[in-house]
Amino acid sequence: MEPIIVLTTLPNGEIAATIARALVEKRLAACVNILAPCHSVYRWHGQIETHSEVPLLIKTEDGRFAALEAELRRLHPYELPEIVSLPIVKGSAAYLTWIAGETLIDDLG
- Mean per-residue pLDDT over the chain, rounded: 95
Q: What is the C-alpha to C-alpha distance for residues 103 and 30, in angstroms, rounded to an integer?
A: 6
SS3 47: strand
Domain ranges of the chain: 3-102
Going from the C-alpha of 13 to that of each of 1, 35, 48, 54, 92, the distances in angstroms are 30, 9, 23, 6, 29
Q: What is the C-alpha to C-alpha distance for residues 57 and 33, in angstroms, rounded to an integer?
A: 5
pLDDT at 107 over 70: no
* Per-residue pLDDT reduced to its tens digit, 47-80: 999 999 999 999 999 999 999 999 999 999 999 9
CATH class of the domain defined by 3-102: alpha beta
Query: pLDDT-derived band of residue 106, with 50, 70 and 90 as boundaries?
Result: low
